[in-house]
Amino acid sequence: MTALFERHLTTLQGAMDAAAKRDYWSAYPEIPSGKIYGETARDDGLAAYEARLGKQFEIAGHPAQSSVGVEVSPYGPSLGIGYPSASVELLVSASQAAATQWAAAPAKARIGICLEALSRLNARSFEMANAVMHTTGQGFAMAFQAGGPHAQDRGLEAVAYAYAEMTRTPAQAIWTKAQGKGEPIVLDKHWRVVPRGISLVIGCNTFPTWNSYPGLFASLATGNTVIVKPHPAAILPLAITVEIVRQVLAEEGFDANALLLAADTMGFEITKDLVQHPATAIVDYTGSNSFGSWVRANAGKADVYTEEAGVNSIVIGATDNFAGLCSNIAFSLSLYSGQMCTAPQNIFVPRSGISTDDGHKSFDAVAAGIAGAIDSLLSDPARAAGICGAIANPASLARVNEARSLGRIVRDSAPIEGLDDARTATPLILSVDAAAEAAYCEERFGPVVFIVAVDDVTEGVNRAAELAERRGAITAALYETEEASILAAADRFAKAGVNLSVNLTGGIYVNQSAAFSDFHVTGANPAGNASLTDTAFVANRFRIAMWRRPAAA
Amino acid sequence: MTALFERHLTTLQGAMDAAAKRDYWSAYPEIPSGKIYGETARDDGLAAYEARLGKQFEIAGHPAQSSVGVEVSPYGPSLGIGYPSASVELLVSASQAAATQWAAAPAKARIGICLEALSRLNARSFEMANAVMHTTGQGFAMAFQAGGPHAQDRGLEAVAYAYAEMTRTPAQAIWTKAQGKGEPIVLDKHWRVVPRGISLVIGCNTFPTWNSYPGLFASLATGNTVIVKPHPAAILPLAITVEIVRQVLAEEGFDANALLLAADTMGFEITKDLVQHPATAIVDYTGSNSFGSWVRANAGKADVYTEEAGVNSIVIGATDNFAGLCSNIAFSLSLYSGQMCTAPQNIFVPRSGISTDDGHKSFDAVAAGIAGAIDSLLSDPARAAGICGAIANPASLARVNEARSLGRIVRDSAPIEGLDDARTATPLILSVDAAAEAAYCEERFGPVVFIVAVDDVTEGVNRAAELAERRGAITAALYETEEASILAAADRFAKAGVNLSVNLTGGIYVNQSAAFSDFHVTGANPAGNASLTDTAFVANRFRIAMWRRPAAA
């Protein structure tokens, strides 16, 4: 029952240790190298992906009444994959039928199954990379990392936190209360983890695995049965995930319906019915603020964990490495064409310019420096394709076109050469004054960037932080050389619940959030009400029940 | 800044250690003895209480626009105490004005203040006992224990959990990511606790301190400012609490308005306005299911922790100590006249009777045995007064009268001799058949007990567990000699989210819940959505914000 737990114990201990220390640590190599994953892994992964295309995705033993699926790669081709589809009632009843056995499993059995599944997912990272690439539009390297090892690390992190919480209270204890000169009262007490019910995980289009794995694995580990509701445009990565986890469940003698796929189609989503179903006890949601607001208001007694959206900002006060600043920001803005929830949208720059190692730079010179760095970064079309990828949602492309009139164009967006069937767009950069709030104070998801003229760094920090408090923000960045100004910004952004990166000029970017060290989203502003992964993310996914009796004499 | 933390560190460590081991432990002696609390403590406490009567309760620096307070002791006399009253807006703005400084305090400073306040509350336990006795109706000994040391232990438990959670993530770490043959990326990261906002603690009439201290101290410790809204009939115990905590806050240089009292009057409650105020981020509520349901539905984005109500059951299958069973149950039913949220209401007994050490006992003999044990326990009026106390709410007395027609009277309720000015009632015991669900399947708060005839122990367990799932339950008890039947009941009650006590026949009772060992309420059925105190109770009371920058070379 706990052989899998023993097999992966070193990994679990590594994760728990890393989460406590918060130094760099990873269980799953992020480099898509044949030396690590096997010399044929790249080709095998591509072949496995291609073998899925144009076929029915069969999941053994999964409830199915019909087939759905109309995924189209942002790079052009239709995937043509059909997925098992079942009514909400059928999914819920299958989930409930699996619940008693799953809840009764020892925590170590559930943890072992989660760890084995993550290990198998890791071995399938090349296949997953293709699946993620062609549902999200991410470039291959990013799809491998964010869809594969980084998502697996986030899943492992949730499992580690869940294990720590489930074992915080002992399973048994003797309670001895002295009674003066009389015999003490001695009770034998037993505690157990009681799961909450059905856990619904609602995936998003852009990071189907990375954003879903924490909730999925945290809920499974704590004994809840899970229904995964993928975005209709990004089903495949989660279907592969569900298939792999179910295989482990079945091998270990559990009802594989402890994890179900709730595939649906655009325009016929079953999400609301799942959220409102009285059997739903937990909802993990990644997506827009508008639907997130609906979920929070309509989930009834279910606990809701959200990552919604926000407006992320960079504030530039001064730098001792102007070239590094420009190239670092250029990469952050270009990566996946601004479709990361952590990507900056607004760059606040003093209208009188900034001091740098390369002398004073005017507002326009700062804007031109960043724009030029993007031009340089994306000058080679193949590299541009790898960094920017494609645009997941046609609406994001439309937003780029609409945004052109919102300010003075510093750098225009353009399609990427050589990706003729794909939806692509390099960053559009506009300059505006701080007064033009209608332009930059709402989220314009995709490659749209505003360089906003402010009086000074303090105004920039305040505007960025207030915007975070009002509309949400997941990241903030600051370039500044005065220590007092840095510490004041750290205070201000902490109060706004935004994680801040200061003076990044090398190979690390504000968009990046590392499992076991960086908490993703604070839960303290409208960009989300939960954090990946802290104790609060797992501790409510189960309850503790006790029974006690007088200890045998 | 952390001198108080250092002073009470041993207590804090003891609490954390006990919560991990869950053996018996207590920081505050429960015996109202002059040897422990000082030879004059009892008289001093009474004098301090009496000095409050008929006067304005002044709280230095507390917002006040008028005076409220119409408390009447369940033992007869009016307290005649006026409390400072202020509008919701004034309370909220005062709380917000104190927030920034309190949030910025080091965790150890806040923890130290909480521990010092608990220590001072402990020293005032005799005064508190009188205050609790004359607002709740509890007998003096119980008012001392439940209102004093046991409540303080529960507060300390919450502080210990809060400290453990706030320090789980380090304040600073160096993150080093190797880069093949290149220089590693090294980031210096800083984390801090960010509180949620205003924490509203809504107290109840029967256990004003015990049920309020966990939320109050958990929220204060994690940096939130707190507004305590006492039940209008039980203001004094929380007013004393607020006064003492505010003294410590002020002495340590903090704005005492980090803790405020929101006193009001029956019929003019400000509770709804406080719950719905957009600045309210956390609500701790103890009270009825009906108002609890309103709070959960109307708290907006605030997190809500509730202890509501339920129907607690005892199931009797067999016993090897019939006399012990009867006397143990008799005490559980008599203590505070059934006004504990943990008191049993329904006793399921096989209609064919049970086997005991004293031979077979028919259904009627079991009922008579329990009734007789109550008669014996309460035969001395002084002892009866001490055990039963008085009835807090006139409605509970009315319920006893209404209940007489709901079944066959096995033992009638009666007033307690010698407490002529008090509202008193000994337990009313009715026998009914399991089919009479309308009688026993709703909570009849107060000294009303049903002995319910069932086919066998399995039916009793199932009915009790289903009732818990449907209406909530905090405790369950079982008397059974077959091990398999005990383990099956443990499974069934755990699934229903009820803590179970088995075969209690000595000096420990199903009503009793010990801090650091017994979690109070599971949060897994309608009797409440939270548990006192587990990690889930504290982990959401703050967020973690981070800032990072390249480490200096």
Give the count of beta carbons closer than 10 Å to the beta carbon of residue B353.
Answer: 17
Name the strand (E) or helix (H) holding A202.
Answer: strand A198-202
* Chain A interface mutation, best of B167, B509, B535, highest count of A Cβ atoms under 10 Å: B535
Q: B5-22 pLDDT, tens per residue?
A: 999 999 999 999 999 999
Distance from CA of B173 to the nearest CA of A (A): 7
Q: By the 8 A CB rule, do A116 and A155 touch? A: no
Cβ contact (<8 Å) for B173 and A536?
A: no
Chain A contact set for B499 (CB, 8 A): 545-548
Q: Residue A501: its chain B contacts at CB < 8 A?
A: 547-549
Please check whether residue B126 is in contact with residue B102, taking contact to mean a CB–CB distance below 8 angstroms.
no
Q: Tell me the chain A residues in contact with residue B494 when contact means C-beta distances shorter than 8 Å.
A: 192, 194, 545, 547
Question: Burial level of B423, CB count in 10 A (0-12/13-18/19+)?
Answer: buried
pLDDT of residue A43: 98
CA distance B405 to chain A (A): 35
Strand ranges (E), A156-302: 172-179, 182-195, 198-202, 225-229, 259-261, 280-286
How far is Cα A50 from Cα A40, in angstroms, rounded to an integer? 15
Q: With an 8 Å Cβ cutoff, are A173 and B504 in contact? A: no
Half-sphere exposure of A97 (CA within 13 A, CB side): 12
Q: Which residues pair with B545 in a beta bridge?
A: B192
Q: Which of A348, A306, A347, A343 is CA-nearest to residue A473?
A: A343
Asked if the Cβ–Cβ distance from B21 to A170 is below 8 Å, we say yes
Which residues is B549 bridged to in the sheet? B188
B241 closest CA partner among B261, B223, B225, B266: B261
CB contact under 8 A, B536 and A539: yes
The pLDDT tens digits for A31-89 are 999 999 999 999 999 999 999 999 999 999 999 999 999 999 999 999 999 999 999 99
For testing the chain A interface, which of B17, B21, B22, B296 should be mutated: the one with the most A CBs within 10 Å? B22
Percent of chain B with pLDDT over 90: 99
Kindly report the nearest CA distance between residue B341 and chain A, in angstroms: 17
What pLDDT score was predicted for residue A110?
98
| Gyration radius of chain A's alpha carbons | 25
- State yes or no: pLDDT of A1 exceeds 80: no
Mean pLDDT across A110-125: 98
**Which of A540, A541, A542 would best serve as a mutation to test chain B binding (most B beta carbons within 10 A)?**
A540
Residue in A174, A499, A539 closest to B539 by CB: A539
Pairing of strands A344-350, A259-261: unpaired
Smallest Cβ–Cβ distance between A545 and the set B23, B506, B524 belongs to B524
Summarize pLDDT for B181-234 with one digit per residue, the tens: 999 999 999 999 999 999 999 999 999 999 999 999 999 999 999 999 999 999
- CB neighbour list of residue B407: distance below 8 Å, 6 or more residues apart: B430, B431, B432, B436, B439, B440, B450
What is the number of other CB atoms lying within 10 angstroms of the CB of residue A291?
Answer: 17
Query: Among all residues of chain A, which has the CA nearest to that of B540?
Result: A536
DSSP states of A357-382 as a string?
TTEEE-HHHHHHHHHHHHHHHT-SHH
The span from the CA of B51 to the CA of A382, in Å, is 85
Q: Give the list of residues 6+ apart from residue A203 with CB closer than 8 angstroms, or none.
A: A211, A212, A228, A229, A230, A231, A234, A238, A286
Q: Are B134 and B73 in contact (CB under 8 A)?
A: yes
Query: Residue A254: CA atoms inside 13 Å, Cβ hemisphere, count?
Result: 30
CB-nearest partner of A543 from B176, B185, B523: B523
Q: Which of A191, A490, A522 sits opposite B543 (nearest CB)?
A: A522
CA distance A502 to chain B (A): 5
Residues of B in contact with A177 (CB under 8 A): 24, 508, 514
Distance of CA B466 to the CA centre of its chain: 24
Whose structure tokens read 């039980």? B234
| Rounded-to-integer distance, Cα A243 and Cα A120, Å | 11
DSSP letter assigned to residue B519:
P
Could A507 and B179 be called an inter-chain contact, meaning their C-beta atoms sit closer than 8 Å? yes
Q: Going by DSSP bridges, is the β-strand pair A542-550/B499-502 parallel, antiparallel, or unpaired?
A: parallel
Of B169, B176, B522, the CB nearest to A544: B522
Task: List C-alpha distances in Å: B30 to A26, B115, B279, B342.
Answer: 50, 18, 38, 19
* CA–CA distance, B286 with B266 (Å, rounded to integer): 17
Instruction: Determine the average pLDDT of the residues in B228-250.
Output: 98
Structure tokens of B32? 């109202």
Beta carbons within 8 Å of B531's beta carbon, 6+ residues apart: A543, A544, B519, B520, B521, B522, B523, B537
Q: Which of A177, A534, A548 sits opposite B502 (nearest CB)?
A: A548
Query: Under 8 Å CB-to-CB from B12, ≥6 apart: which residues?
Result: B5, B111, B115, B156, B159, B160, B163
d(CA A128, CA A123): 10
Is A504 in contact with B549 (Cβ distance < 8 A)?
yes
Residues B455-476 pLDDT 10s: 999 999 999 999 999 999 999 9
Compute the average pLDDT of residues B122-144: 98
CB pairs under 8 A between A and B: 191
pLDDT the model gives residue B552: 84
Is the CB of residue A212 less than 8 Å from the CB of residue A228? yes
Mean pLDDT within A160-179: 97
Binned at pLDDT 50, 70 and 90, residue B553 comes out as low
The strand pair at A280-286 and B408-411 is best described as: unpaired
Nearest chain A Cα to B517, which residue? Answer: A175
A244 to each of A111, A113, A256, B333, how far by Cα in Å? 15, 11, 10, 54
**Cβ pair A361, A369 in contact under 8 A:** yes
Token pair recorded at residue A532: 């990946």
In angstroms, the CA A105 to CA A14 distance is 24
Which of B240, B478, B218 has its CA nearest to residue B347? B478
CA distance A340 to A333: 9
Q: Do A543 and B531 touch (CB under 8 A)?
A: yes
Picking from A169, A494, A536, the nearest residue to B194 by CB comes out as A494
Per the structure block, which two tokens stand in for A533?
């992964």
- What are the angstrom distances between the C-alpha of A199 and each of A146, A305, A487, B324, B356? 23, 11, 40, 44, 45
Residue A552 confidence class, pLDDT cut points 50, 70, 90: confident
The H or E element spanning position A261 is strand A259-261
CA–CA separation, B157 and B20 (whole Å): 11
How high is the mean pLDDT of chain B?
97
Task: With CA atoms as reference, report the closest residue to A301 among A286, A279, A284, A285.
Answer: A279
How many Å is the maximal CA-CA distance in chain B? 89
A498–chain B nearest CA distance, Å: 6
Q: From CA A425, how far away is CA A413, in angstroms rounded?
A: 6
- From A224's Cα to the closest Cα of chain B, the distance in A is 13
Q: What is the pLDDT of residue B25?
A: 98
Cβ within 8 Å, pair A535-B499: no
Taking the C-alpha atoms of residue B494 and residue B357, their distance in angstroms, rounded to an integer, is 29
pLDDT at A359 (0 to 100): 98
pLDDT at B1: 75
Q: What is the ipTM of this complex?
A: 0.97
pLDDT at A167: 97
Q: What is the pLDDT of residue B244?
A: 98
Residue B414 phi/psi, 5-degree rounding, is -150, 155
- Residue A318 gets which letter from DSSP? B
Backbone angles phi, psi at A142, to 5 degrees: -70, -40
Q: Provide the β-strand partners of residue A430.
A: A409, A450
**Ordered domains of chain A (ranges, CATH):** 3-308+532-548 (3.40.605.10), 312-502 (3.40.309.10)
When pLDDT is averaged across residues A368-390 and rounded to a whole number, the result is: 98
**Nearest-by-CA chain A residue for B192:** A494
Q: How far, in Å, CA of A136 to CA of B81, rounded? A: 66
> Which amino acid, one-letter code, is at A100?
T
Interchain pair A189, B524: CB under 8 A: no
